[in-house]
Amino acid sequence: MPPLPLFHLLLVAASLAEPSAGNMLDPGMCQKSVACGDSVDVRYPFFLTDATAAIVGNTAYSYCGYPGMAIICEGGRATLRLKGNEYTVLNINYEDHTVTVADTEVLSGGDCPRVTRNVTVPPEAWLNISTTASINLSFFFDCVFTAATPPPPAMSPINCSSFLGRDRVSYVVEEPDVAPADQWPRACKGMVVVPVLKELLLGSDEYLARLNSDGYGKVLKQGFQLSWDPSAGPCFMCEQSKGQCSYNQSGEIHRLLMLRRQRAQPGLR
């Protein structure tokens, strides 16, 4: 007789919503790990969705994964939407609970991209910008200095060719280098703050020394890090026993999928 398997998987699906046939959570839907392109593996608490379904409020569907962690996979590119803006997913680390993303607009913006938006992570995304891994770059665009508001003495404006030949100058600086009392930013028209990977920027001279030329673009294209905290969510207990949850459009638990390990041999416990 072949030896009995030590473990077998017991699947328990528990519904919090009114039980109905259409409500059943397909266990396969939760467990699937899907490759998107060469470097991104999409699995719980992320989930794949198509571009139209990702528009919140579109349909009354539910998803297996955390709210706001929908990934659109198109042409090998994984995209996460934050406040309607598209970010390309560069890497997901499921052990450290971090995801590295870069502004899609910046990735397609040439060597010296013009950054047009602040990064805003809405609370409903269940993601936070990793404070330890990040440092902010501040951009000041289209500055016109006067005798009353002179340029900063120790900083060089962005000197990429796409920024030259205008009557205005722009700057990119590490956020800590601008004091709230500084007057010169008032001479600038647009200000944008974007997080970048701290280790990358401060780890060597490669980017910092050329920040005002092509250095900033290179750093931006490597993205910034967001993290999630499973223990902050309502599914933590369930996940501890290898379960997963699906949520409805309001981000409330719709179904629990408990996947429990059970001893097949009685008496061993």
Ligand X SMILES: *[C@@H]1O[C@H](CO)[C@@H](O)[C@H](O)[C@H]1NC(C)=O
List residues binding ligand X (CB under 6 A). Answer: 17, 60, 117-118, 126-128, 131, 134-136, 159, 175, 191-193, 195, 210, 212-213, 228-229, 232, 248-250, 252
209 Rama class: left (phi>0) / alpha (psi -120 to 50) / beta: alpha
Nearer to ligand X, 72 or 112 (CB): 112
Cα–Cα distance between 73 and 79 in angstroms, integer? 6
Least CB distance from residue 101 to ligand X, whole Å? 15
Asked if residue 149 lies in contact with residue 187, where contact means CB atoms within 8 angstroms, the answer is yes
Shortest approach of ligand X to residue 134 CB, angstroms?
5
Q: Which is nearer to ligand X, 77 or 210 (CB)?
A: 210
Rg (CA), the chain: 24
Residue 167 CB, nearest distance to ligand X (Å)? 18
For ligand X, give the closer residue by CB, 29 or 32: 29
Write down how long the chain is.
269
Distance of closest approach, residue 124 Cβ to ligand X, in angstroms: 10
Quickly tell me which residue has 């473990």 as its tokens.
7
Buried-state track 16-54, b at ≥16 Cβ within 10 A, e below 16: eeeeeeeeebeeebbeeeeebbeebebbbbbbbbeeeeb
For ligand X, the closer CB: 32 or 159 = 159
Position of minimal CB gap to ligand X: 229
